[in-house]
A and B are shown apart, each in its own frame.
Chain A
Amino acid sequence: MSRVHVTCTINGDPAEFLCDGGQTLLDALRDEVGLTGAKEGCGTGDCGACSIVMDGRLLCSCLVLAPEAEGTTISTVEGMASGDDLHPLQQCFLEGAALQCGVCTPGFLVAAKALLDRNPDPTETEIRYGLAGNLCRCTGYDKIVRAVQAAAAAINES
């Protein structure tokens, strides 16, 4: 069966990969491109562990077919840090111990960045609703919310 050739931009760099027509973008990112930051938790769009941003929209890459990425601009968790400098969200997750097993963390980081890009100074309620599409099965939500609040404050001060 012939594979589909996809050309796109990933984390600022031109990228191309071959995929199957019915392969999810999550699988293509992990298995064809080698970016394993996005995780498969549920595979049905409920948990958000596979969150990425495609053409400015936060979405679950498990619900996107890989050929849909043709011509798009994609951001994943791998693109958040600048070289060795972690993004303030990553730094605050680290300092605030806002992760336990860590499987949900990339999705939370990507979703939290999308939230702060849209709303730089969210209330706690806005953070909780904004991250409602991300599940932490270790139930570490409080530290995650506090880390996002700390990151928002750090970004707004800088």
Chain B
Amino acid sequence: MLSAMKYASPTTVAEAVDLLGSEPDARVYAGATDLIPQIRAGRPEPAVMVDLKRIERLCAISGNGSTYTVGAATPTADICVHDGLAAAFPGLVEASGLIGSDQIQSRSSLGGNLANASPAADTPPSLIVNDARAVIAGPGGERTVAAADVATGPGTTSLGGGEFIVEFELDQPPARTADAYLRLIPRTEMDIAVVGAAARVTLDGDGRVAAAAIALGAVAPTVVRVPDAESALIGNEPAGDALAAVEAAASAATNPIDDKRGTVAYRRQVAGVLARRAVSIAAERARERGGQS
């Protein structure tokens, strides 16, 4: 099993790009938590497995005061214990911590979670509400795109041949801003989202919503933004009718499937409830943060 493949472990981005250029049937990986099970389940083996974890840039977390940079292969376990990220992006850190067991946390990564392009992935909605950018390396050099533009459907991405995600850039949120992520699973731990909901809220000095972003996972082929819910919040306190409008708009924005974890009707309803709750939590955190940026 798996024994025909070659293994390569480049130590620089340039070396990885060259390797992918010279071997068309190569596949990059970080934690392999999805890739190895997929190959075991019958997907074709690549000729070469390119391990990205020996490239320092892909496993580093850094911040310069205005922007955080998180390596695409950084274990989510590291993200979960990073004080700076937890303060700036509590929802993204929550989502990161929900991926699998402690064993999986040692290997799972933001880059893998996004590039694997599962509709039910936990971190992409949080990356998207925080306007994260993905730095992508490939034969044409490096380019930077919105994280929202990476996944194009279940298992498909906009990454070109020989391209891989190097790192994510996340701008330090403005004052009175915070995010939250909620997920419903049928068990208390170790399952895949029935619905995931990420929200980010910026309040003005009077406690009204100045900016909002809401994104839902597991209810459509890709993450769904809910502009109607976002505009319903603007200028209002995050309460009462505004939250009811968020719930209705989030339910309406979904295009879910029936499967063993939930029916279409259930997913629609839960999407609304989780969106409303995520907005409430994000708003509460934004209030607590006050003027700190």
Could you tell me if A133 and B9 are in contact, using CB atoms closer than 8 angstroms? no
Stretch from B103-111, B214-222, B245-253 at the A interface = B103-111
Which residues in B have their C-beta under 8 angstroms from that of A114? 102
Name the segment of B29-37, B157-165, B276-284 touching the other chain. B29-37
In the complex, the number of residue pairs spanning A and B with C-beta atoms less than 8 Å apart equals 95
B38: nearest chain-A partner, CB-CB: A44
B190 adjacent to chain A (CB < 8 Å)? yes
From A24, A51, A111, A133, give the contact of B2 (CB < 8 A). A24
- Contact partners of B273 in chain A: CB under 8 A: none
Closest chain-A Cβ to B105's Cβ sits at a distance in Å of 8
**B143 CB–A CB distance under 8 Å:** no
Interface readout for A33-51 with B: 1 if CB under 8 Å, 0 if not? 0000000000111101001
Does A23 touch B at the CB level, under 8 Å? yes
Interchain CB contact under 8 A, B33 and A22 = no
B49 contacts across to A, CB distance below 8 A: 21-22, 65
Question: A20–B3 contact, CB under 8 A?
Answer: yes
Q: How far is the CB of B96 from chain A (nearest CB, A)?
A: 15
Residues of A within 8 A of B6 (CB): 21-22
A45 proximity list for chain B (CB < 8 A): 33, 36-37, 100, 103-104
Number of residues from A at the complex interface, CB < 8 A? 33
Binary contact readout B10-51 vs A (1 if CB under 8 angstroms, 0 otherwise): 000000000000000000000111001100100001001101
- What 1/0 mask marks residues of chain A from 6 to 25 whose CB sits below 8 Å from any chain B CB? 00000000000000111110
Q: Is the CB of A132 within 8 A of B190?
A: yes
Quick check: is A4 within 8 A (CB to CB) of the other chain?
yes
Q: How far is the CB of B74 from chain A (nearest CB, A)?
A: 12
B103 and A111 form a contact (CB under 8 A): yes
Contact A59 to B106, CB < 8 A, known contacts A44-B36, A132-B190, A133-B190 = yes
- Provide the residues of chain A in CB contact with B75, threshold 8 Å: 57
CB distance from B260 to the nearest CB of A (A): 16
Give the size category of B's interface with A: 20 to 34
Chain B 72-99 against A: per-residue CB contact (8 Å), 1 yes, 0 no?
0001010000000000000000000000
By a CB distance below 8 angstroms, the chain B residues around A58 are: 102-103, 106
Contact of B36 among A62, A70, A129 (CB under 8 A): A62
A106 within 8 A of B: no
* Cβ-defined contact, A57 with B106, below 8 A: yes
A133 with B102, Cβ < 8 A, contacts A20-B3, A22-B5 known: yes
Does A63 have its Cβ within 8 Å of any Cβ on chain B?
yes
Residues of the A chain whose Cβ atoms lie less than 8 Å from the Cβ of B40? 43-44
Distance between Cα atoms of A65 and B37 in the complex (Å): 12
Select B189's contact among A20, A23, A70, A129, beta carbons within 8 Å.
A129
Complex CA gap A30/B6 in Å reads 20
From residue A132, how far is it (CB to closest CB) to chain B in Å? 4
Name the residue in B51, B101, B190 with the highest tally of chain A Cβ atoms < 10 Å from its Cβ. B101
Q: A48-90, CB under 8 A of B: which get 1 and which 0?
A: 1001000001111011110110100000000000000000000
* Interfacial chain A residues near B36, Cβ < 8 Å: 24, 44-45, 62-63
| Most A C-beta atoms less than 10 A away, residue of B45, B51, B103 | B103
Question: In angstroms, how far is the closest chain A Cβ from the Cβ of B183?
Answer: 15
Any B CB within 8 A of the CB of A122: no
**Chain B's nearest CB lies how many Å from the CB of A39?**
14
Report whether A59 and B107 are in contact in the complex, using a CB–CB cutoff of 8 Å.
Answer: yes
Given contacts A20-B2, A24-B36, A129-B189, 7 further A-B contacts (CB under 8 A): A21-B7, A22-B6, A27-B1, A46-B190, A58-B106, A60-B103, A111-B103
The 6 closest A-B pairs by CB, nearest first: A133-B101, A22-B5, A22-B2, A21-B7, A57-B106, A44-B37
